[in-house]
Amino acid sequence: MPLPLTRRYSIPLRSSAFTTAARLLTLAVALLAANQATAAPAAAPHNTATTQALAPKPTTDAAPTGAGQRIYERTRGRLLQVRTLLQTQDSQSSVGSGFLVEDGGLLVTNYHVVSQFALQPARYRLVYATVDGSEGALQLLAFDVVHDLALLRAVKPEALAGRGVVALRPAEEALPRGARIYSLGNPLDVGFAVAEGNYNGLVERSFPQTIFFGGSLSGGMSGGPALDDQGRLIGVNVAARRDGEQVSFLVPAENVRALIERGRKAAPITAAVWPELTRQLLAHDQALTDRFINQPWRSAGHPRYQVPVPQETFLRCWGSGSAQAVRGLQFERSDCTMDSRLFVNNSLATSFFTVRHEAYDGSKLGALRFAQRYSASFANESMGRDDRHRTAPRCVERSVSRDGLPLRAVVCLRAYKKLQGLHDVSVLVATLDGTESGLQGRFDAQGVSLANAQRLAAHYLNGFAWTANKPSPP
């Protein structure tokens, strides 16, 4: 008989999985609408973006080779430090690096380096400093939040005349894996430097594409150029893994080329960029959702249920379980998550999916104690809360039948307060057919449109079914 799961919501359900998802989301939206309409805009938070993306850590690189010295000397006049200052004083709020790309004072850095100004231009201002100590004001012309890039121009471009520019390596000239490349920037605000490393191709399971740089990057190098042995741009410093050494990441040069073409004639940005930020995130969401849904689920290997597990070409999955000697509730767990997510500001990253499931065995507990613990696990899931960026979740819960497999499903929606039209959706599922065993799954998508939230919820629910070991009817 069905297990007595703890009820947190009380809306009945009779439908197929896709219609279920649509109706669940319709009800969740209705619950959300009143709250969203009256939600006060969240104040933009204090941001230390560069240290978030490139965490300071000890550098283990050897001294630069002769090639590194040559690259640095050739490029040093084209390097800049990009600083975000409070409007009313010279106190630094964040620092990063940048480089000249065209005559007329055009330069490139990361979006996260200038995000404070982009989101609160009335409070902050941008300035540059060169290797030889020259300084000047900057204007923001365009940005690409998906690839974490920004295009700026010096207010007085004549001050940067004659320094040359960093040329982009032609896209048709593929770089071999293991080739030596040179990353430049101003690490930890201690001075301009060069860090040598190797090109290791594109990062696996990254959406969008990112280059794997086998070298050390530190905070403050964000936005600096990574060059080949001819001084041509391979990519832009963007991030480093905090749990490893010599594992860093670059934005590919072709994204720089596209941003320059789009933004070189743009008027300076003087208002908060939330509308354009939203537009870019919605476009990214569409591409991300389409790709995810077009990939079939793979098998979890469960003897009784078909469980939706994503392809490892898209998400990275890790398994764990309880010790076999432990008396009580046994479980095996799979956690799958995207390695990449998009930086909005220091307290908000979005545009990523996670998928999880837990298979429970309560044969050592007996039916009653298993039902109590299984129900408690389902009720213990957190769906978030009202915070500075998103509204409180609005959830509905119903019973679902997947070809005779009884499920309990909860769908929750949270709306972004300033990124209008974007939502987080969570889907929680539990099987109800067993008296001493069962399975619970959860899917989360952050930064999706309402239509894509519905598609993703239906896609996840449709991933549950019986295996060939479907029990015979009584």
Average pLDDT, the chain: 86
Short-list 452, 396, 393, CA closest to 421: 452
Tell me what pLDDT residue 230 has: 95
User: Could you report the per-residue pLDDT of 336-386, keeping only the tens digit for each?
Assistant: 999 889 999 999 999 999 999 999 998 888 899 999 999 999 999 999 888
Q: How confident is the model over 396-400, as a mean pLDDT?
A: 94
Structure tokens at 443: 């899917």
Structure confidence at residue 411 as a pLDDT band (50, 70, 90): very high
Domain with CATH 2.40.10.120 in the chain: 49-271
What is d(CA 215, CA 224) in angstroms, rounded to the nearest whole number?
Answer: 14
Residue by residue, what is the 3-state secondary structure of 42-100?
CCCCCCCHHHHHCCCCCCCCCCCCHHHHHHHHHHHHHEEEEEEEECCCCCEEEEEEEEE
268 half-sphere exposure, CB direction, 13 A CA radius: 14
What is d(CA 69, CA 229) in angstroms, rounded to the nearest whole number?
Answer: 11
Q: 80 near 112, Cβ under 8 Å?
A: no
Is a pLDDT exceeding 80 seen at residue 14?
no
Tell me what pLDDT residue 268 has: 98
Q: What is the DSSP string of 125-192?
A: EEEEEETTS-EEEEEEEEEETTTTEEEEEESSGGGGTTS--PPBPPTTSPPPTT-EEEEEE-GGGS--
Structure tokens at 93: 């709020």
Q: 152 near 83, Cβ under 8 Å?
A: no
What is d(CA 203, CA 370) in angstroms, rounded to the nearest whole number?
Answer: 43
Is a pLDDT exceeding 90 seen at residue 20?
no
Q: What is the DSSP letter of 416?
A: B
Short-list 412, 347, 418, CA closest to 36: 418
Residues ≥6 apart with Cβ < 8 Å to 121: 140, 269, 270, 271, 272
Give the number of other CB atoms < 10 A from CB of residue 221. Answer: 28
Q: Is 403 left (phi over 0), alpha (psi -120 to 50) or beta?
A: left
Q: What is the DSSP string of 273-304?
A: -HHHHHHHHHHHHHHHHHHHHHSPPB----SS
Tell me what pLDDT residue 63 has: 53
User: Could you report the per-residue pLDDT of 75-95, keeping only the tens digit for each?
Assistant: 999 999 999 999 988 888 999
* Poorest-pLDDT segment among 109-118, 131-140, 325-334: 325-334
Tell me what pLDDT residue 26 has: 62
Q: 140 near 119, Cβ under 8 Å?
A: no
Helix and strand numbers (H, E) in the chain are: 8, 23
Tell me what pLDDT residue 2 has: 39
User: Could you report the per-residue pLDDT of 385-396, keeping only the tens digit for each?
Assistant: 889 999 999 999
CATH topology for 49-271 is: Thrombin, subunit H (2.40.10)
**Does the global pTM surpass 0.75?**
yes
Tell me what pLDDT residue 390 has: 97
CA 113 to chain CA mean position, Å: 16
